[in-house]
Amino acid sequence: MPLISFVVPAYRVQAYLGECLDSILGQPVDDVEVIGVDDHSPDAGGEILAEYAARDHRVRAVRLAANGGLGPARNAGLDLAGGEYVWFVDGDDWLAPDCLAEVAARLRATRPDVLVVDHVRVHWDQRAARSAMAEVFPTPPGPVTFGLRERPEALRLLHTAWNKLVRREFLLDLGLRFPPGWYEDVPFSYPVLLAAERIGVLDRVCVNYRQRRAGAITRTRGDRHFEVFAQWDRVFRWLDERATTPAGARADDLRPAVFERMIWHYLTVLGNGERIAPELRPAFFARIAADHARRLPPGGYPAPEGVEGLKHRLVAAGRWRTFSALRAANQARETARRQARRAGPMAREAARRGRDALLREYYRAELRRPPDPTLAVYAAYWYRGYVCNPAAVYEAARRLAPHVRGVWIVRRDRVDSLPPGVEYVVAGSREYHRALARATWLVNNVNFPDFVRKRPGSTHVQTHHGTPVKVMGLDQQRYPLGAAGMDFGGLLRRVDRWDYSVSANAFSTRMWERAYPAAYTTLEVGYPRNDRLVTATAADVREVRARLGLASDERVVLYAPTHREHLPGYRPPFDPGLLLDALGPAGRLLVRSHYFHDRDGRPLLPVEDPRVLNVSDHDRVEDLYLAADVLVTDYSSAMFDYAVLDRPIVVYAPDWEAYRLARGVYLDLLAEPPGAVTTSFPGLLDLFRSGAVDAPAATAARGRFRARFCALEDGRAAERVVRQVFLDESS
DSSP string for 143-178 = S--B-TTT-GGGGGS---STTEEEEHHHHHHHT--P
**pLDDT of res. 701:** 97
Mean pLDDT lowest for which of 155-169, 177-191, 413-427, 476-490? 476-490
Do the strands 114-123 and 59-63 form a parallel or antiparallel pair, or are they unpaired? unpaired
Instruction: Give the confidence band of 77 by pLDDT, cuts at 50, 70, 90.
Output: very high
For 491-621, strand residue ranges (E) read 500-503, 521-524, 555-559, 587-591, 612-614
- Neighbouring CB atoms inside 10 A of 30's CB total 10
Instruction: Give the confidence band of 619 by pLDDT, cuts at 50, 70, 90.
Output: confident
Mean pLDDT on 371-383: 96
Instruction: Give the confidence band of 310 by pLDDT, cuts at 50, 70, 90.
Output: confident
Most confident range (mean pLDDT) of 213-222, 593-602, 631-640 is 631-640
Residue 645 has pLDDT above 90, yes or no: yes
**pLDDT of res. 324:** 85
- Enumerate the H helices of 355-443 as residue ranges: 357-367, 388-400, 430-438
**pLDDT of res. 157:** 93
Question: Which CATH architecture is the domain 360-526 placed in?
Answer: 3-Layer(aba) Sandwich (3.40)
The larger pLDDT score, comparing residue 450 to residue 329, is at: 450
Fold exhibited by the domain 531-709: Rossmann fold (3.40.50)
Residue 123 has pLDDT above 90, yes or no: no
**pLDDT of res. 479:** 83
Residue 695 has pLDDT above 50, yes or no: yes
Mean pLDDT on 111-120: 96
Amino acid at 577: G
**pLDDT of res. 600:** 44
Interatomic CA distance for residues 613 and 436, integer angstroms: 38
The answer to whether 119 and 205 have CB atoms below 8 angstroms apart is yes
Do the strands 32-38 and 4-10 form a parallel or antiparallel pair, or are they unpaired? parallel
pTM: 0.77
Q: What percent of the chain has pLDDT above 70?
A: 91
Mean pLDDT lowest for which of 155-169, 235-249, 657-671? 235-249
Instruction: Give the confidence band of 352 by pLDDT, cuts at 50, 70, 90.
Output: very low
How much is the mean pLDDT over the chain? 90
Mean pLDDT on 417-436: 94
**pLDDT of res. 596:** 54
**pLDDT of res. 24:** 97
Asked if the domains at 360-526 and 531-709 fall in one CATH topology, the answer is yes
**pLDDT of res. 616:** 86
b vs e for 122-131, b when ≥16 Cβ sit within 10 Å of the residue's Cβ?
Answer: bbbeeeeeeb
Angle in degrees, CA 626, 630, 635, rounded to 5 = 100
Which of 3.40.710.10, 2.130.10.10, 3.90.550.10, 3.40.50.970 would CATH assign to domain 1-218? Answer: 3.90.550.10
Alpha carbon of residue 481 to chain centroid: 20
Residue 470 has pLDDT above 60, yes or no: yes
Residue 664 has pLDDT above 60, yes or no: yes
Residue 626 has pLDDT above 70, yes or no: yes
| Three-state secondary structure call for residue 590 | strand
Residue 690 has pLDDT above 90, yes or no: yes
Instruction: Give the confidence band of 570 by pLDDT, cuts at 50, 70, 90.
Output: confident
For the chain, which residues make up each domain, given as ranges?
Answer: 1-218, 220-355, 360-526, 531-709
**pLDDT of res. 598:** 39
Instruction: Give the confidence band of 339 by pLDDT, cuts at 50, 70, 90.
Output: low
Residue 703 has pLDDT above 70, yes or no: yes
Please report how many Cα atoms fall inside a 13 Å half-sphere around the Cα of residue 477, on the Cβ side.
17
Interatomic CA distance for residues 281 and 659, integer angstroms: 51
| Three-state secondary structure call for residue 496 | coil
| Nearest residue to 645 via CA among 676, 672, 674 | 674
Longest dimension (CA), the chain: 96
Mean pLDDT lowest for which of 10-24, 74-88, 565-579, 592-606? 592-606
